[in-house]
Structure 1
Amino acid sequence: MKQWQALVRDIPDFPRPGILFKDITPVLADAEGFAAAVAAMVEPWREAGLDAVVGIESRGFILGAALAQALGTGFVPVRKPGRLPADTLSQDYALEYGTDRLEVHVDALPAGARVLLVDDVLATGGTLLAARSLMRRQGAEVAGATVLFEMLALGGRAHWDESVPLLAAAAY
């Protein structure tokens, strides 16, 4: 299987000076690379008894939808403010270059649903923590989280509850 990690491209000073952005669009554009990346993220969760995959805007949508298909579950989007048409729950969070907010439909999941959170990168951890908070407020059980890669120098894992599995397909 293709080594997808070599396809990740570094973009310095994006979206702000001092930020090194890891661009996964070359991974997505390469059929074998994309398949290998999804396979790496899916494999640990095949027997997890999941009801849904929760993808975090925006690259988490792409990866999450692919994981949901591979795992035979539904997909729930967690979006930026103002993009969901029905009633929502919202959660503010910090990221390495500012603050933001995530939202989910209040009726996206039934109480007790077992979910997997999916995003492209674990940086400072704020996005995953906000998504986990939204799921818990909704009454879902967060079985775990998976990311395509983890930015080790930013220390996001230190903020994660160790009793909930957090897996990264690669680390930089």
Structure 2
Amino acid sequence: MAFGVISYHLTAAVAVPVAVVPLLYAGAMGAGAVGALASGVVYDRAGAAVLLALPVLITGVPVLALAPSAGLVLAGVLVWGAATGIQDSTVKALVADLVPQPRQGTAYGVFAAFEGAGALVGGALYGSLYSARPALIITVAALQATALVLLLVTLRRARRASPGHGPAYGRT
């Protein structure tokens, strides 16, 4: 879910003054910093299973961030920020654990390309679905369910390939 869609909702539907939107974005970035730090600590101790929370968090974003009340929207902005922080930090740790060191530069580039393309397509999709918010919420939920399945498959394959080898493979 792009912050542009959330900020449009803030100004158009919740009547938040435009001048307040950057402050809310700053709050989201603060939540992102906390989310990145917390998930990084848990990742180092417990492994990549911490990332299973990410699709769940993201599924809640449109429900909260596109609500009609300012309090719920603020909660959605903070959840969006936390999810962004986790994605911008801890997901990259998983990439480092899954890819051999000599190919990590390429892996980060491929990851960033897919992330950028996904943001472009997602922003267009969510923007076009904004007026049909239930469809937007269902679409986000379906995409995050798909992401959760793909993450589970990836973690299982990684665990089979190198059992007990590094944080990506889960620790007990």
Query: TM above 0.5, one fold?
Result: no
Greater strand proportion: 1
Greater helix proportion: 2
Does 1 or 2 have the higher relative contact order (CA < 8 Å, sep 6+)? Answer: 2
Normalised to the residue count of structure 2, the TM-score between the two structures is 0.28
Normalised to the residue count of structure 1, the TM-score between the two structures is 0.28
